[in-house]
Each structure stands twice: as C-alpha cells, then as structure tokens.
Amino acid sequence: MFAQKDVLAFSVLYGLTTATLYQGHDTKQTFFVVVVCFSLIWCSVSDVRNYIIPNACVVAISMSSIFYLLSNSPAELPIRIGTAITIFWCLWLIGEIYFRRFKKDGLGIGDAKLFAALSLAIGAENLPMLLFLSSSGGIFAVLLNRTPSKGEFSNGLPFAPFIAYPAFVMILLN
C-alpha cells in the first residue's frame, strides 16, 4: 500500500504546483515541463523507496533540457553542458571525500548526477539557490526526524525529493 501512497503524494504535489505556477503556452515548453515533472517524480519515489536515483531518469531530464535549449537558446548549450560536467565532478568529489572520511555516504553519486542534470534545465545562475533550498529541506527533515519519539534515518536520508521539488518550482518560474 505504501508504494501507491508515495506515488500519489508526489503526483498531487507536482500536479498542484504545476496548476498553480505554470504559465506556458508553447508546446515545446509544455512537453519539457511534463517530461521533467514525470522524471522528478520518478527520481523522488525511487530514492524514497530504494535510495537509488535511476540513470534513465537523469538521462530523461538531461536530454529534455538539451532539446529544449537547442530549440530556444542554442548559444547557452555549451555553457550549460560545461556547468553540468563541473557540478557533477565537484559534488562527486565532495561525496567521495565525505565517504572516505566518515565511512558512510553523505552525498551519493545519484544526487550529484541529478544536480548536474538539473543544472542543464535551470542554468548556473540558479544553482546556488537550488543548493540552498535542497539543503534547507534536507536539514529540516533531519531535525523533524530527531524528536525523542522517532529514531534517526536508519539508512540515511533520501535526498532526491529535496533536490527535485525546488528545481521543479524554479523551472516553472523561469
């Protein structure tokens, strides 16, 4: 039963957000928003259930972003690809250093890939805000979970929902 509840919860959240914020009238933009929306729901559900962000989900976000950029602002594409590669390697390195130091995952490679894919969609100028909002959401979830009646996250915190939702809102607002 839990499997259907998490999909429903994410779908309602993203659906209501889209209905509230989406102003697009362009077919290409609508297609882009729909693909990204379904991909982010998929990433979030998969991470909550299995602590894994599927590569196919990251590829769907990346490819839809690239096609959208090619059709609207092709001059930005090389900069955004360079940014995505840089973001991936920097976040992977931070996660690797944390893992070697503390012998547990802090920021997984899936999270780094998701940030990189989303940097294609939102651009480098919006990455600091995405990092801040994602981290704030994750910290808030950890603080809520540390009440005396609850234990800590036994397997860690699935971070994809905290990355995906603010990114989706940023995509809708830009």
Domain that holds residue 164: 2-173
Q: Please check the confidence at residue 137 and state whether its pLDDT lies above 70.
A: yes
Quote the CA–CA distance of 75 and 45 in Å, as a whole number: 34
| Runs of H (alpha helix) within 51-159 | 55-72, 77-102, 109-122, 127-145
Question: What Rg, from alpha-carbon coordinates, does the chain have?
Answer: 16
Nearest to residue 172, comparing CAs of 7, 46, 23? Answer: 23
pLDDT digits (tens, 9 = 90+) for 72-95: 999 999 999 999 999 999 999 999
Dihedrals φ, ψ of 5, to 5°? -70, -40
Q: Token digits for 108? A: 């997984």
Does the pLDDT value for residue 115 go beyond 70?
yes
Give the pLDDT mean for 139-150: 75
> Distance (Å, rounded) from C-alpha 8 to C-alpha 64?
24
pTM, entire model: 0.90
Number of domains in the chain: 1
pLDDT of residue 154: 58
- 3-state DSSP assignment of residue 103: coil
Please give the sequence-ordered ranges of beta strands (E in DSSP) within the chain, or none if there are none: none
Whether the pLDDT of residue 49 is over 80: the answer is: yes
Tokens of 58: 């990251």
